[in-house]
Amino acid sequence: MNFKIKQTQKKVSSTYKTLYIKDDLVKKIEKIAKQNNTSFNNVVISMIEACINSDENDN
């Protein structure tokens, strides 16, 4: 796994967005969430942040 799942933190200012995700990808993310005892949302956010941080470090 190329990203580290963040521990659930205290509530911070957030914005609600809707995403359309392929069914097979949803199943994979749900499996990761279950294995790490965390939420689907936390896994997705961890993945997004890891990608953004990686891009920033590459530049």
- pLDDT tens figures, 2-51: 777 777 666 778 899 999 999 999 999 999 999 999 999 999 999 999 99
Asked, for residue 11, whether it belongs to a domain, the answer is: no
Specify the number of domains making up the chain: 1
Domain that holds residue 46: 23-58
Greater confidence, 43 or 59?
43
- The whole-number pLDDT of residue 9 equals 64
Asked, for residue 28, whether it belongs to a domain, the answer is: yes
Q: Which residue has the tokens 């969430």?
A: 33
Asked, for residue 45, whether it belongs to a domain, the answer is: yes
Asked, for residue 7, whether it belongs to a domain, the answer is: no
Rounded to 10 deg, the angle between the 40-58 and 23-35 helix axes is 100
pTM of the model: 0.76
